Amino acid sequence: MAELIDSQRARYQIPVAVSCRALGVSPAWFYKWRGGDASVRRARRRGLGELIAALFLKHRGTYGAPRITADLRTLGWRVSENTVATIMAERGLVARPKRRRKGTTRAGKAWRAPDLVRRKFHASQLNERWFGDGTDLGMGVAQSMGRPDRP
């Protein structure tokens, strides 16, 4: 659009203000384009974007904004995680998600402990049979001592 304004001014001597008004842009924007953008902030952001892309490639596309931000801070940059996320989104850099672990347990195929009680849970006298599951085993011996009637 700025090239069009410039060519109209050179070829037909149409003032910049008239062309800008017709196209709906400000003359300040046109002069900024013509003179080049010497903004320190944009130059810093451009350099930051190149560094983010380099770090993203270095880590083979597995690092997201939080980890890239940590790397940048280690290198001495003062930058927020949101800025890094925005720059990554602008450049289309999306980290690959972590691979989920494959479940190895298959129903009915696992080893089972032998049934030594033969499913008879009633005892004829106290302290004859003790039963428990994994949660009881995790409680420890000290808590279960002295309580043989505990299911």
In a domain, residue 96? The reply is: no
Are residues 49 and 31 located together in one domain of the fold?
A: no
The predicted-structure confidence for 4-13, as pLDDT tens digits, reads as follows: 888 877 787 8
**Closest of 99, 69, 67 to residue 83, by C-alpha:** 69
Are residues 22 and 46 located together in one domain of the fold?
A: no
In a domain, residue 120? The reply is: no
pLDDT at 145 over 80: no
Domain containing residue 8: 2-35
The predicted-structure confidence for 75-97, as pLDDT tens digits, reads as follows: 999 999 999 999 999 999 998 88
pTM beyond 0.85, yes or no? no
Are residues 21 and 50 located together in one domain of the fold?
A: no
- Mean pLDDT (the chain) is 80
Residue 144 confidence (pLDDT): 47
DSSP the chain: -HHHHHHHHHHH---HHHHHHHHT--HHHHHHHHH----HHHHHHHHHHHHHHHHHHHTTT---HHHHHHHHHHTT----HHHHHHHHHHHT--PPPPPPPPP---TTTS-----SSTT----SSTTS-----HHHHHH-HHHHTT-TT--
Residue 141 confidence (pLDDT): 47
Are residues 46 and 17 located together in one domain of the fold?
A: no
In a domain, residue 44? The reply is: yes
Residue 142 confidence (pLDDT): 46
Residue 9 confidence (pLDDT): 79
CB 70 within 8 A of CB 54: no
4: tokens are 């069009």
User: With bands split at pLDDT 50, 70 and 90, how would you rate the model's confidence at 118?
Assistant: confident
In a domain, residue 8? The reply is: yes
CB 65 within 8 A of CB 45: no
Are residues 17 and 56 located together in one domain of the fold?
A: no
Are residues 87 and 53 located together in one domain of the fold?
A: yes
CB 62 within 8 A of CB 74: no
Residue 92 confidence (pLDDT): 93
